[in-house]
């Protein structure tokens, strides 16, 4: 796994897994995946040299949302994103930052478990728009592809 | 204390220095840093060898590790030399680095600022003559000779006695080299040392350096060293792979006529390619062509730590990409770019490292072809 996290985070993850009857925790190099029904919560280290971790919700087939985008979609964009970024901005103690981040994410997932795992998720369309706005300016081609995949998944739920 | 030139460690470093073009004019340690090493070498030896009474040989070895770890902390060129022979994988070397990191002594630098020992300020790390004026001090020169067998060059106003001593040490060094060269290997004396250390670092008896030596009896230390990092022999003793598997399911093949530059996310692809598929060495020769081989950015971690994310991007990553473009490399993305992997909410610009690379190429007219994984200028020809 090799993520820069302490036993505290490992315990929190396992508690979460136990509470929600997750059968198998998937640990890979620089990545840990908690599979739920319909989506997975993934913690991973996106950069090579920077050990700060990020969380995303993965629906498979290249449909995924950063935790921050989902959080903003549910809580409102105005302050939510800022709160997350500021609270978990990279600082001198990456280990503590990562532990705090995992704690924050799992606590939020615990409180909003039904909302997050509902099908179709009520936050999905809004989070898609937030993610699209973050990508489109720099990579319009990738934003188009991403939105198309998300719409396909959304439509499959609506049928 | 025994002259450090006798130890395998020192032979190895000298070999790497020779191979890597390091001369004795690179950034030297400040006298305060030398004093800390002298003062703390016994403590380090005790910890390193788990004994209250380290032997003279253990003391010498411990001090040598401290000196080379200290030099790598302050001098880019020495860091390159250490990386070349795999010292960063050596547990004793790592212990020395950690030991030095805990030292809190300070000194007043040339700018009149208080500076913590074994750290750099400003452009120190790349300033080749920093503190070289200390070479004029006999005790300073003696320290390097006795601890690691480096015969520092003399100042222009050296006395006749100093010149005589310098000459005697040069002769002693030469004799040691010849002695090392005789048993077994036919290459150069220094390669024996490289083999010994690299073998330890890699956990196996066969090394690139020794194999090079066997293949080519006339190989010089420097040409073998160059070969180590520039040719396609990524992994010790094995033929380099000419194709790479990727998370995008595309197989990337090396173009025999060109350098093939490969980009991707570390977690999905480049980590696996570097460590498992190629055994690609950490190196600072990321601007050199690798005709017929693969080119990946795999610099020592210390470089990123020293520069920080923004300077690393500007001074290392961008030049790496620019050089690949200017050279006309085949450029492949091992990882399919997506809205997710090109973003990183932790970064101030919201882009991941891979996202920045993709943007850099896209902004310059390169277009990704999802069928081949190739990024071609103005799109790939079908």
Closest CA in chain B for residue A86: B346
pLDDT at residue B376, as a whole number: 96
Which of A1, A32, A33, A46 is the best mutation test for B, with the most CBs of B within 10 A? A46
The pTM (predicted TM-score) of the whole model is 0.59
* Lookup result for tokens 């990545």: A31
Q: Cβ of A89 and B346 within 8 Å?
A: yes
Q: How far, in Å, CA of B157 to CA of B174, rounded? A: 25
Q: What are phi and psi of B133, to 5 degrees?
A: -65, -20
How many CA atoms, within 13 angstroms, populate the side-chain half-sphere of residue B77? Answer: 19
Q: Is the minimum CB–CB distance between A66 and chain B shorter than 8 Å?
A: yes
Smallest Cα distance from A114 to chain B, Å = 24
Q: How far, in Å, CA of A49 to CA of B344, rounded? A: 13
Instruction: Confirm if B299 and B286 have CB atoms less than 8 A apart.
Output: yes
Nearest to A138 among B338, B345, B359 (CB): B359
Structure tokens that stand for B172 in this block: 């002693």
Q: What is the dihedral of CA A91, A94, A99, A103, to 10 degrees?
A: 30
Count Cβ atoms below 10 Å from residue A30 Cβ, excluding itself.
Answer: 22
> Which residues from B are below 8 Å from A when comparing CB atoms?
265-267, 270-272, 301, 304-305, 309, 312, 337-346, 350-353, 355, 358-359, 362
Asked if the bond preceding B199 is cis, omega within 30° of 0, the reply is no
Please determine, for residue A17, whether its predicted confidence score (pLDDT) is greater than 70. Answer: yes
Closest CA in chain B for residue A58: B340
Instruction: Confirm if B361 and B319 have CB atoms less than 8 A apart.
Output: no
Which of B300, B337, B340, B348 is the best mutation test for A, with the most CBs of A within 10 A? B340
Q: In chain B, which stretches have pLDDT less than 50?
A: 1-7, 15-25, 181-239
Q: Is the minimum CB–CB distance between A54 and chain B shorter than 8 Å?
A: yes
What is chain A's mean pLDDT, rounded?
89
Q: Is the minimum CB–CB distance between A68 and chain B shorter than 8 Å?
A: yes
pLDDT at residue A116, as a whole number: 95
pLDDT at residue B1, as a whole number: 41
Structure tokens that stand for B3 in this block: 């002259």
Q: Exposed, middle or buried, A130 (CB in 10 Å: 0-12/13-18/19+)?
A: buried
Q: Which of A17, A18, A56 is CA-nearest to residue A39?
A: A56
Which residues have CB under 8 Å from B110's CB, separation 6+?
B130
Q: Cβ of B271 and A30 within 8 Å?
A: yes
Q: Is the minimum CB–CB distance between A8 and chain B shorter than 8 Å?
A: no
Question: Which run of H or E residues covers position A51?
Answer: none
ipTM: 0.91
Closest CA in chain A for residue B341: A46
Please determine, for residue A143, whether its predicted confidence score (pLDDT) is greater than 80. Answer: yes
Q: How far, in Å, CA of B348 to CA of B342, rounded? A: 13
Q: Chain A partners of B267 at a C-beta cutoff of 8 Å?
A: 29-31, 44-46
Segment A59-114, tens digit of pLDDT = 999 999 999 999 999 988 656 555 555 555 545 488 888 999 999 999 999 999 99
Q: Is the minimum CB–CB distance between A89 and chain B shorter than 8 Å?
A: yes
Q: How far, in Å, CA of B192 to CA of A75, rounded? A: 65
**Sign of the Cα pseudo-torsion (B103, B104, B107, B110, in order):** positive
pLDDT at residue B155, as a whole number: 80
Q: Exposed, middle or buried, A64 (CB in 10 Å: 0-12/13-18/19+)?
A: buried
């Amino acid at each position: 796994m090799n993520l820069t996290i302490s036993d505290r985070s490992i315990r929190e993850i396992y508690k979460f897994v136990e509470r929600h009857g997750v059968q198998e925790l998937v640990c890979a190099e620089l990545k840990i995946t908690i599979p739920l029904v319909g989506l997975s919560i993934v913690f991973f280290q996106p950069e090579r040299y920077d050990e700060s971790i990020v969380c995303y919700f993965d629906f498979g087939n290249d449909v995924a949302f950063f935790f921050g985008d989902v959080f903003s979609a549910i809580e409102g964009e105005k302050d939510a994103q800022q709160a997350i970024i500021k609270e978990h901005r990279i600082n001198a103690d990456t280990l503590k930052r990562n532990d705090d981040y995992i704690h924050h994410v799992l606590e939020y997932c615990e409180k909003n478990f039904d909302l997050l795992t509902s099908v179709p998720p009520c936050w999905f369309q809004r989070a898609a728009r937030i993610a699209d706005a973050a990508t489109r300016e720099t990579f319009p081609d990738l934003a188009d592809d991403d939105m198309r995949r998300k719409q396909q998944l959304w439509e499959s739920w609506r049928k | 204390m025994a002259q450090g030139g006798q130890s395998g460690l020192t032979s190895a470093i000298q070999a790497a220095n020779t191979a890597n073009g390091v001369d004795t004019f690179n950034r030297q340690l400040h006298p305060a840093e030398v004093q800390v090493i002298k003062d703390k070498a016994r403590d380090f030896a005790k910890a390193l060898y788990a004994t209250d009474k380290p032997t003279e040989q253990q003391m010498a070895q411990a001090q040598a590790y401290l000196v080379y770890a200290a030099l790598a902390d302050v001098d880019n060129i020495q860091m390159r030399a250490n990386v070349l022979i795999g010292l960063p994988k050596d547990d004793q070397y790592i212990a020395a680095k950690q030991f030095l990191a805990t030292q809190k002594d300070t000194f007043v630098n040339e700018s009149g600022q208080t500076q913590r020992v074994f750290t750099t300020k400003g452009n120190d790390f790349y300033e080749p003559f920093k503190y070289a004026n200390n070479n004029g001090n006999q005790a300073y020169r003696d320290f390097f000779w006795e601890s690691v067998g480096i015969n520092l060059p003399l100042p222009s106003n050296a006395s006749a006695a100093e010149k005589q001593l310098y000459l005697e040490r040069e002769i002693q060094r030469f004799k040691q080299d010849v002695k090392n060269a005789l048993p077994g290997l036919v290459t150069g004396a220094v390669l024996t040392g490289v083999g010994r250390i690299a073998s330890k670092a890699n956990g196996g008896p066969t090394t690139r350096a020794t194999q090079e030596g066997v293949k080519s009896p006339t190989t010089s230390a420097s040409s073998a060293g160059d070969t180590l990092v520039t040719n396609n022999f990524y992994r010790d003793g094995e033929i380099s792979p000419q194709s790479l598997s990727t998370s995008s399911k595309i197989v990337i093949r090396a173009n025999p006529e060109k350098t093939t530059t490969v980009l991707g996310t570390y977690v999905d692809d480049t980590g696996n390619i570097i460590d498992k598929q190629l055994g690609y060495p950490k190196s600072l020769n990321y601007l050199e062509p690798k005709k017929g081989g693969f080119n990946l950015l795999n610099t020592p971690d210390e470089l990123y730590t020293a520069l920080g994310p923004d300077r690393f991007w500007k001074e290392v990553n961008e030049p790496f990409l620019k050089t690949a473009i200017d050279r006309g490399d085949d450029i492949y993305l091992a990882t399919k770019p997506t809205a997710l992997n090109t973003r990183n909410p932790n970064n101030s610009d919201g882009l991941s490292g891979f996202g920045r690379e993709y943007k850099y190429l896209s902004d310059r007219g390169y277009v990704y072809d999802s069928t081949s994984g190739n990024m071609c200028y103005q799109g790939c020809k079908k």
